Every structure is written in C-alpha cells, then in structure tokens.
C-alpha cells in the first residue's frame, strides 16, 4: 500500500474531513520528532459495538472522556473507529490496559477486544501508521460510492481488502438487494449407502456458493474472519434466500430439501413469512441446518431455535461439527434430527482417533451425516462405524460412474 504525502492531500475529497485532518496532524507530529504513542481502536471489530449504533456511540463518548482526563487527543474516523494520541512519557505504558478497561467491562474483556487495540509509536512507526490511515481513507471513499448507490464498486475497491468488517457486511447486505441471488444457489444431495452397495438420494441441500459469490462480487474480502461477522453474513444470505423461496415456493414444493439457517433468523419476519407459505403437510420435508458457530456463541438461543423449528414441524440438523469437537459437546443432549460431521481431507485423520470413534459410535447412527466427504479414508471410516449417510463430491462422483448400481 502506498503512503500518501503532502501533494496527495489535494486528491482527498472534501467529504473526508476527519481522515484528512488526522493525516495532517500525524504529519506535523512526525516533523516535530517528539515521541508519541498513538492507539487505533477498531471499535467496528468488537461484536457488541458492530451490531449496535447506540453501543458504538456510548463507547466513543467514553473514549473522548478518557482522552480528556489523560491529556490525550481524540480523533474519530468516518466509519466510527478511533485514534487516540499522547506524547510519550513514563506513564504512557499503562494506557493500553487502562484504555481497554474503559472500553469494555472487565467481565467482557476478551481476546476479540484486545485485538482491536493497535499501537503505533512515532517517529519510528510513521510508515505503518500512515498505511493504517490510508485504510480509513479507502473506506470513506468507498462509502461515498455506496452513497451514490454503488455498493458493488465499493466491495471491489481497496477499502474491502482484508477480513470482514461491520462496514463490508453492511455493504453486502445492500448488494443482495441488487443482485439475483438465485444465480449463486447450488444444490448437493445427501445420499444413503444401501447394503447392496447402491446410493439412495435422501435430501437435497440448497446453499449459496460463497466461492462464486466472492469471486464475482467481493474478491478482496476474507470471508471467514472474524467469525461473528461471518455468521452475520450467513444470516443475510440465508434470509435473502428464504425471501426468494417464499416468492417461488413452487421450486421446492413436495421435495425433501435442506437449507442453512442462522439461529437469529428463526425469529425474523422473513422466516415467519416463509412458514406461512409452506403447507403444513409439506413441512416435514424441509430441514434447516444450524451452524456450530451459532451454537458456540449462543447456546440457549440455539436450543430455543431448535424447539421453534420442531414446533413448526421442520427437521433440524446441527451443521459444521468437526471430529475433534465431538468429545467436548454432548451431541446426544440436542434434540436434533441430524448431526453433520465435517470429514474433509484435512479432518479425515481425526476419525482414526479411538476416543473420537467411540463417541461417534454412541450417537444413533441414523442421526449422523458425514459431509464434505471428498476422500476414501473418510468414507471407509464412516462405513466401518456403521454410518450410512454421506454428502460430498466423492459420493457425487460415485453415483455417476457407469458401474453404479
């Protein structure tokens, strides 16, 4: 990333006042050569703040007060993140910890919040600091494009490069209103292995292809981190897909189908409309997969969502469980119709662990589905444990071979 210097300020649009002002301030400090501590607080990366404007503004107010009582300078960026500046002294080394305590309650201080505190020291840290400010300049410029109704351009700009942020998730949500999501919907069947060696299709899973959507619409984004924002993105995609299926229910009528669903979507108006559109005698044909990320983030809400889905007569699957998780979760305690175990190539060796195999064999076999089955080791391990339901390209290939039963 290039560093913007004096003449580059002419290129900064007039609506980037906050970023421009802070850029000039940092340049002056660097010319003075006096040691300064500068802390960047990525407030939009903290779960509780990224989801609530009220909480974000309250945190900003606390930081302004903190800067005042510690003789610091407060600078807010257009997206809501903050920089705080102090002249170095014998006491400044304690400021990061004090700042974190002021930002979030002690019982909520965690690794996520700690990662959102980024330190710079002038003059030696001038270049990385300027690169960091450029990041915010890019976000503000992209936001200006969005303001003109062009989220697709913003998501392909440099401002979108890197991990998910609250801003990029928000732009994707706006983009979903502009594109035809059905272009990115894919299906893959869940098959059951029969004693005669044949494969019988049981369910058809509908899902949005993240790979295709990312390649075409936001190629610079890292979609898997942080996890709470990835789940927020999944929720947006799930609800958009549900809305489209509500309008075109005939595409899945009387078919045995599965969909991904964020637990927070179960109480949404989108899901309620979908339920009203599904005849009661067809609901048992439809299943919803709840991701283990939701389970780990909000155990009680996940259980409540499962109860609601069952009350509406839908099937429920716990999705995304990896083999190394089965000894830490009492999977038998969940009222799930199915538990989907990720047996992809990088997980297959875990299936040889005696403790994992023992736990899996104690779960009712009719509940287990081995998915991401892309290797012979996983298939062989599952069959040796008496598991019959599999999903993955290895199975897809097997049923399309000429000698398939």
CATH number at residue 203: 3.20.20.450
Q: Are strands 73-76 and 82-87 parallel, antiparallel or unpaired?
A: antiparallel
Same domain as 213, residue 90: no
Same domain as 79, residue 11: yes
State the first-to-last Cα distance of the chain, in angstroms, to the nearest integer: 57
Confidence of residue 305 (pLDDT cuts 50, 70, 90): very high
pLDDT at 14 over 70: no
Confidence of residue 310 (pLDDT cuts 50, 70, 90): very high
| 160 or 19, higher pLDDT | 19
Same domain as 208, residue 259: yes
- Smallest CA-to-CA distance from 202 within 335, 333, 370 is with 370
Average pLDDT over residues 144-151: 63
Map tokens 């974190």 to a residue: 100
**Range of lowest pLDDT (88-97, 104-113, 169-178, 394-403):** 104-113
Query: What is the structure's pLDDT at 55?
Result: 83
Q: Does residue 178 belong to any structural domain of this protein?
A: yes
Same domain as 107, residue 229: no
Instruction: Establish whether the linkage from the previous residue to 226 is cis, with ω within 30° of 0.
Output: yes
Percent of the residues in the chain that have a pLDDT greater than 90, as a whole number: 50
The dihedral sign for the CA sequence 291, 328, 51, 209: negative
pLDDT at 152 over 60: yes
| 163 or 104, higher pLDDT | 163
Query: What is the structure's pLDDT at 59?
Result: 87
pLDDT at 190 over 80: yes
Same domain as 384, residue 280: yes
Same domain as 244, residue 387: yes
Same domain as 346, residue 257: yes
Contact 53, 93 (CB under 8 A): no
pLDDT at 5 over 50: no
Query: What is the structure's pLDDT at 10?
Result: 35
Same domain as 189, residue 133: no
Confidence of residue 316 (pLDDT cuts 50, 70, 90): very high
What is the C-alpha separation between 272 and 186, in angstroms, rounded?
Answer: 24
Domain boundary pick from 101, 128, 145: 145
Average pLDDT over residues 234-244: 90
Domain boundary pick from 145, 163, 184: 145
What is the C-alpha separation between 41 and 29, in angstroms, rounded?
Answer: 19
pLDDT at 382 over 90: yes
What is the C-alpha separation between 255 and 305, in angstroms, rounded?
Answer: 23
Expressed as residue numbers, the domain containing 63 is 6-145
Query: What is the structure's pLDDT at 224?
Result: 75
Query: What is the structure's pLDDT at 7?
Result: 35
Q: Does residue 15 belong to any structural domain of this protein?
A: yes
What is the C-alpha separation between 317 and 306, in angstroms, rounded?
Answer: 9
Q: Does residue 154 belong to any structural domain of this protein?
A: no
The dihedral sign for the CA sequence 288, 293, 297, 300: positive
Count of domains for the chain: 2
Q: Does residue 160 belong to any structural domain of this protein?
A: no
Same domain as 378, residue 253: yes
Q: Are strands 368-371 and 162-163 parallel, antiparallel or unpaired?
A: unpaired
pLDDT at 26 over 90: yes
The CATH number of whichever domain residue 135 belongs to comes to 3.30.70
Average pLDDT score, the chain: 85
Average pLDDT over residues 350-364: 94
What is the C-alpha separation between 198 and 322, in angstroms, rounded?
Answer: 27
- Smallest CA-to-CA distance from 205 within 348, 319, 311, 342 is with 319
Same domain as 294, residue 336: yes
Q: Does residue 270 belong to any structural domain of this protein?
A: yes
The predicted-structure confidence for 386-402, as pLDDT tens digits, reads as follows 999 999 999 998 887 65
pLDDT at 2 over 50: no
Query: What is the structure's pLDDT at 357?
Result: 95
Q: Does residue 155 belong to any structural domain of this protein?
A: no
Confidence of residue 145 (pLDDT cuts 50, 70, 90): low
Query: What is the structure's pLDDT at 352?
Result: 94
Q: Does residue 44 belong to any structural domain of this protein?
A: yes
Average pLDDT over residues 221-241: 83
pLDDT at 226 over 80: no
Q: 88 — phi, psi (to 5°)?
A: -60, 140
Same domain as 247, residue 380: yes
pLDDT at 372 over 70: yes
Same domain as 284, residue 181: yes
pLDDT at 4 over 70: no
Q: Does residue 152 belong to any structural domain of this protein?
A: no
What is the C-alpha separation between 15 and 150, in angstroms, rounded?
Answer: 17
Query: What is the structure's pLDDT at 135?
Result: 85
Confidence of residue 312 (pLDDT cuts 50, 70, 90): very high
């Amino acid at each position: 990333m290039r560093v913007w210097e004096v003449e580059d300020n002419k290129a900064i649009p007039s609506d980037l006042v906050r970023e421009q002002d802070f850029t000039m301030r940092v340049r002056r400090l660097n010319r003075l050569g006096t040691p300064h501590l500068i802390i960047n607080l990525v407030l939009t990366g903290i779960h509780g703040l990224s989801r609530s404007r009220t909480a974000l503004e309250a945190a900003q107010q606390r930081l302004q007060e903190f800067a005042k009582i510690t003789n610091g300078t407060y600078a807010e960026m257009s997206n809501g993140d903050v920089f705080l500046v102090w002249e170095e002294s014998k006491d400044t080394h304690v400021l990061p910890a004090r700042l974190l305590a002021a930002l979030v309650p002690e019982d909520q201080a965690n690794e996520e919040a700690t990662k959102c505190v980024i330190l710079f020291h002038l003059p030696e840290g001038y270049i990385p600091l300027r690169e960091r400010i450029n990041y915010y300049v890019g976000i503000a410029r992209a936001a200006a494009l969005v303001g003109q109704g062009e989220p697709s351009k913003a998501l392909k700009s440099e401002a979108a490069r890197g991990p998910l942020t609250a801003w990029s998730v928000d732009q994707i949500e706006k983009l979903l209103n502009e594109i035809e999501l059905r272009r990115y919907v894919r299906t893959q069947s869940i098959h059951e292995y029969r004693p005669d060696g044949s494969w019988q299709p049981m369910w058809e899973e509908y899902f949005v292809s993240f790979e295709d959507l990312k390649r075409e619409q936001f190629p610079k984004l890292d979609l898997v981190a942080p996890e709470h924002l990835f789940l927020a993105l999944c929720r947006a995609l799930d609800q958009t897909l549900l809305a489209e299926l509500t309008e075109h229910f005939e595409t899945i009528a009387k078919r045995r189908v599965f969909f991904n669903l964020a637990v927070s979507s179960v109480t949404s108006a989108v899901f309620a409309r979908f339920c009203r559109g599904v005849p009661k005698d067809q609901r048992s044909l439809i299943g919803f997969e709840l991701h283990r990320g939701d389970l780990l983030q909000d155990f009680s809400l996940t259980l409540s969502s499962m109860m609601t889905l069952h009350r509406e007569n839908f099937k429920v699957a716990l999705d995304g469980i990896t083999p190394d998780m089965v000894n830490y979760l009492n999977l038998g305690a969940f009222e799930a119709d199915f538990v989907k175990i990720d047996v992809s190539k990088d997980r297959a060796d875990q299936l040889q662990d005696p403790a994992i195999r023992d736990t899996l064999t104690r779960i009712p076999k009719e509940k287990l589905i081995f998915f991401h089955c892309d290797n012979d080791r996983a298939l062989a391990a599952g069959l040796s444990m008496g598991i019959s339901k599999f999903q993955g390209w290895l199975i897809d290939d097997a049923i399309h071979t000429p000698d398939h039963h």
